Structure 1
Amino acid sequence: MNREHRIWQWITHIIMVLASIGCLFPFVLLIVSSFTSEHEIIREGYSFWPKSFSLEAYSYLGGKLNEITRAYGVTALITIIGTIVGVAITAMLAYPLSRQDMPYRNLVAFLIFFTLLFNGGLVPTYLIYTQAFEIKNTIWALVVPGLLTNGFNVMLVRSYFASSVPTPVIESASIDGAGEIRTFFSIVIPLSTPILATIGLFQLVLYWNDWFNGMIYITDSKLYSLQNMLNRILTDIQFLASGSLGSNVRTGPMPSETVRMAIAVIGVVPLLIAYPFFQRFFVKGLIVGAVKG
């Protein structure tokens, strides 16, 4: 390794460290602000080094522990179901598209790509889910829409299958008497763990952070996802903070700013816990799956 190469390597490392710190700072500020008193934020704004420490925001959310716990359960359920089913559908659709001998595969691929550019609009989609599928105010209203919006994942997995699953291996399995289903589950799936883990992470984040479907299709508070429940709590506290009702309930200002930060922390922590389990697959699956189409 020559001197010039080492210099560029150090420069690259420094740039990446600075970029990582830049990405980390907002999250650190988020956590610190959630433990800062409302009075200090109102007087002096947000700071990485608050003068006063307060658990007021988490104490307020603790009063709604039952609702938040139930919302966590709903979100965990739809995330698990949606991720498993979504990955299965994506893999089973992408595998035939990666085979050169599939009839009309280019037409099917074009139709999938078309859905990435255009959709039917909110009103037709709402009518289909509520009147044709009749899933309004059911847990499936939070699962099904996410299963039908993974065209990008299909293209990603198709590219991985085409470039990373050796065709001679599939042909050898066929010669040995293995059918398409046996080949898919015994050969293709074990060789595709990185890309499946990658799109699994995509699906997990999609379902965990989803609030739109709950806002449109769910009116029963018992079926609120975590994001919808936290949004309702934030709306309630903003109403109390801005109206005269808030002054009758509390002697001080409602912790609207700190609660907003605490809500964000509660929502993002499970994803931070899950990410390390996917990290070793994520980079390889994303890069290799995007090399060839």
Structure 2
Amino acid sequence: MVRVNGRKPNDISNTAHFIINLFFWFYTAVCILPLLLVIIVSFSDEKAVLLNGYSFLPESFSLSAYRFLFKDWEQILRSFGVSLVVTAVGTIISVIIMAMYAYPISRKDFPHKNVFSFFMFFTMLFNGGLVPWYLVYTQMLNLKNTLAALILPLLVSAFFVLMLRTFFSGTIPPALMESAKIDGAGEFRIFAQIILPLSLPVLATVALFQTLNYWNDWFTSLVFITGSKNVNLQYLMYKTMLDIQFLNSNTQALQAINQSGALQLPTETARMAMAVLGIGPIVFAYPFFQKYFVKGLTVGAVKG
């Protein structure tokens, strides 16, 4: 057996594997430790955090931040349901609409593909501004204080449409569609039974990013929702944090709270508890997309 510098080839390979595994263990720890710190601080005592700062080993365990947040548990559950419905419905509809738009402009035999491609690309560079955007949804479409106002503004992303178009045109062979036409399949059947099943990697990638966009969105609730009925979870947490900061900065209000013997207002621990509530459900979405995520990210990187 040939040896290199007195070592077998397998020894060199094992050493390389050990270094690579060590690197990824370290990288994983770097990613997980901040999340772990957020969870630990959310269960810590507010006074201890203010005196000693953040720590992986809290001096005292406390549920005060969660007790404070869940004093209005009905509103949290309602907002949680709004976020789930908006995220699920918005992601499904947006992926379908963007795929249906991207498919025609990916076809070389579509005579107006350049016009529609430019129209979509133009929206990446320019927009009508905040005031016209607001007036369209509230005055023309009359969608204020509705769930549709939380779904429609994020429904189509020009970047994702162009990404889908690149996948359709560069990955799916035209001969496959031509053979389907010869067998008598129409355009809708080709799209539904051939294009979509072969495009699962890019569809899953777009669906994952749209899920994150809908779940993390709070601005549409700020703009279009005035009551508390259709407020999503992210905006509810944002508004709660602003209320806590205002009360802590208002001396008279803080003294009134202390004299009444009410629950002490947490600041740092409440912020971490909100982060836990916000990221908790969305973490479970990743396993559903993980199988196709890497393939989708490398779309168009290598062309055969």
Smaller-chain TM-score bracket: over 0.9
Q: For residue 234 of structure 2, what is the aligned residue in structure 1?
A: 227
- 1:133 paired to 2:141: yes
Q: For residue 294 of structure 2, what is the aligned residue in structure 1?
A: 283
1:2 offset after TM fit, Å?
6.5
Which is greater in Rg?
2
- Equivalent position to 2:108, from 96, 100, 105: 100
- Deviation string 1:205-240 (CA, Å, 9 cap, x unpaired) is 111110011111110111101111111222222222
Give the aligned CA root-mean-square deviation in angstroms.
1.9
Q: Taking every aligned residue pair, what percent have the same amino acid on both sides?
A: 47
Give the letter aligned to residue 30 of structure 1. Answer: V
Q: For residue 126 of structure 2, what is the aligned residue in structure 1?
A: 118
Give the letter aligned to residue 20 of structure 1. Answer: T
SS in 1 for 2:110: coil
**TM-score, normalising length from structure 2?**
0.90
8 Å Cα contact 2:68/2:265 also seen in 1: no
1:109 offset after TM fit, Å?
1.7
Q: Distance in 2 between matches of 1:161 and 1:171?
A: 14
**TM-score, normalising length from structure 1?**
0.93
Give the letter aligned to residue 185 of structure 2. Answer: A
Give the letter aligned to residue 15 of structure 1. Answer: F
Q: Distance in 2 between matches of 1:34 and 1:84?
A: 33
Q: For residue 28 of structure 1, what is the aligned residue in structure 2?
A: 36
Q: Distance in 2 between matches of 1:77 and 1:289?
A: 33
Q: Distance in 1 between matches of 2:57 and 2:118?
A: 53
SS in 2 for 1:63: helix
Written as runs of structure 1 = structure 2, the 5 A alignment for 1:55-204 is: 55-148=63-156, 150-204=157-211
Q: Distance in 2 between matches of 1:8 and 1:116?
A: 44
Q: For residue 245 of structure 1, what is the aligned residue in structure 2?
A: 253
Q: Distance in 2 between matches of 1:168 and 1:21?
A: 47
Q: Distance in 2 between matches of 1:22 and 1:204?
A: 25
Q: For residue 269 of structure 1, what is the aligned residue in structure 2?
A: 280
Note closer, same or farther for the CA distance 1:129–1:104 as it changes in structure 2 (3 Å cut).
same
Note closer, same or farther for the CA distance 1:289–1:54 as it changes in structure 2 (3 Å cut).
farther
- 1:38 paired to 2:46: yes
Q: Distance in 1 between matches of 2:163 and 2:302?
A: 9
1:15 offset after TM fit, Å?
2.9
Q: Distance in 1 between matches of 2:291 and 2:128?
A: 37
Q: Distance in 2 between matches of 1:175 and 1:3?
A: 57
SS in 2 for 1:138: coil
